[in-house]
Amino acid sequence: MTVIDANRMHEIETRYPEYFHRSFRQRFGGLMILIATLLYSLYAVWFFDLPKLFAEAHWDRVGIYLSQWVSYDVQPEFRIGDDGSIDIRYPRFSPLGDNPHPDWLVNNPDGSITVSISGTGRSVTVSKSETIVTAHGVSVPVEVSSGAPKVVGPVPGWMTVYDDNVLADLGFAGNVSISVDRVKIRKRFIGWANFIFDTQSSFFDKPVGEVVSLIVSGQRIKPDQSNLSLAFDDIWNNSEWQHGDVWTKLFQTIVMAFLGTLLGSLTAFPLAFLAARNITPNRLLNQILKRFFDFLRSVDMLIWALFLTRAFGPGPLAGSGAIFLTETGTLGKLYSEGLENIDNKPREGIKSTGAQTVLVHRYGIMPQIVPVLVSQTLYQWESNVRGATIIGAVGAGGIGLKLWEAMRTNANWENVAYMVILILIVVFIFDAASNALRHRLMGTKAH
């Protein structure tokens, strides 16, 4: 065991004072940061009143919206006449078309109609005097012959009785609303209804094999148009999913992002040389341009889009202009800061040979700044694809406006899901493309 005497200890303390004579900040800095973070978190909980917010949130709507993203419903309505007849009606734009004959609806010999809600034993049988709802292992009769519907027997928890109707909640499978003269059923299906062909198409409700046979070798449905061309027109002009309009708006969004970023980078590039202190030794000009960049980027892209839609009207021009103004400020700042951080030795060496200013910039500055320019510009480009979607919601064109219209109806969530998936695919593709292009231009290997 080695014993260190007082002199040796004093020598070690003198040589390494940072370990033996630590400041208050060094000793308690980590603890103070932890305490400050905890206090700020408690303040945020109080300021936003998070307990009340979570308690009053409509969490049930999350499941409803998510289910509507991946499903659709059919809403048959059974009207009971005074003579006991039952008339079946569907909404005007039913996914089943104008003349539906679903296999889950059965006409019984006694004149009643049975609707199978799902494959788990849920069903509804409608007759002139009563409606029987079967779910969760029990059958509940509801009399409809008197002035108001009346549940026979105990009322289960999944059924609610009102003054003039009875509502049976069958979960994801759907629901049933029963009144004296009518029964409305909402039956839910997994998937997207009529995604390829709508109910007006000549190919609607035909098996895949038959559609392929008609396109490849079948007799023309319309004498003046081939079946392949007709099928493409029906898909492109699908009235429910509007594929043609959605894809056109998506292309507008991509063009807006590309054009705005391109014009912004071309404008910011020469201005950045004037804003960089080490390139242009004019402090007044440097400050004016830097404050100009700050002004352009301090106004959010969404606000620029609002201004421009008022000036030029709604459309992609306003969106491209908003991206252009924002990117001029953002890229101008990034480019000028990149120029101010270059190594001046190569530049001074070339300048000492008597080379012209253009050559000094070309060989002394550009090799150092190109990686920064490429990296930042490509990142802003892929970021603006997402940004163009947001500004489209305020009238700047593109798929953002289409997405906002679908969300505003609060009924077309499957269309919302379709457009969100398209946007995600485009963002993923642009991210991969920009990474590949960045590595190729900078001469590095992608991982």
Encode pLDDT of 282-331 as tens digits.
Answer: 889 989 999 999 999 888 888 998 888 888 888 888 889 999 999 999 99
Average pLDDT, the chain: 85
SS (H, E, C) 309-375: HHHHCCCHHHHHHHHHHHHHHHHHHHHHHHHHCCCHHHHHHHHHCCCCHHHHHHHHHHHHHHHHHHH
Provide the 10 A C-beta neighbour count for residue 15: 9
Least confident of 67-71, 82-86, 94-98, 439-443: 439-443
pLDDT value, residue 119: 63
Is residue 373's pLDDT more than 70? yes
Q: Which residues pair with 143 in a beta bridge?
A: 130, 150
Per-position b or e across 348-379, b if 16+ CB within 10 A of its CB: eebeeeeeeeeebbeebbeebbeebbbbbbbb
Q: Please name the amino acid found at residue 87.
A: D
Is residue 353's pLDDT more than 80? no
Is the separation of the CB atoms in 376 and 331 below 8 Å?
yes
Sign of CA dihedral 88, 92, 98, 103: negative
Distance CA 348, CA 354 (A): 10
Is residue 344's pLDDT more than 80? no
Residue 106: which of 87, 84, 125 has the closest Cα? 125
Strands 174-178 and 166-169 come out as antiparallel
Q: Tell me: the pLDDT tens digits for 4-60?
A: 666 666 676 676 666 666 666 777 778 889 999 999 999 999 988 888 888 888 777
Residues contacting residue 248 through CB under 8 Å, at least 6 positions apart: none
What the chain holds in terms of domains, given with CATH numbers, is: 74-190 (no CATH), 243-442 (1.10.3720.10)
pLDDT value, residue 445: 60
Confidence label for 401 from pLDDT (cuts 50, 70 and 90): confident
Is residue 236's pLDDT more than 60? yes
Q: How many helices (H) and strands (E) does the chain have?
A: 16, 13
Is residue 3's pLDDT more than 70? no
Is residue 148's pLDDT more than 90? no
Average pLDDT over residues 366-392: 84
Q: What's this model's pTM, rounded to 2 decimal places?
A: 0.78
C-alpha separations of 147 from 68, 161, 165, 181 in Å:
35, 14, 11, 10
pLDDT value, residue 366: 79
Residue with tokens 């830097």: 290
Distance CA 403, CA 416 (A): 6
Is residue 202's pLDDT more than 90? no
Least confident of 64-68, 113-117, 203-207: 64-68
pLDDT value, residue 278: 83
Helix (H) or strand (E) holding 130: strand 130-135
Confidence label for 378 from pLDDT (cuts 50, 70 and 90): confident
Average pLDDT over residues 111-127: 84
Is residue 84's pLDDT more than 80? no
Is residue 241's pLDDT more than 80? yes
Is residue 447's pLDDT more than 60? no
Q: What are phi and psi of 60, to 5 degrees?
A: -65, -25
Residue with tokens 């969300």: 407
Is the separation of the CB atoms in 91 and 75 below 8 Å?
yes
Per-position b or e across 67-91, b if 16+ CB within 10 A of its CB: ebbebbbbebebebeeeeebeeebe
**How far does Cα 286 stand from its chain's mean position?**
40
Average pLDDT over residues 424-433: 87
Is residue 177's pLDDT more than 90? yes
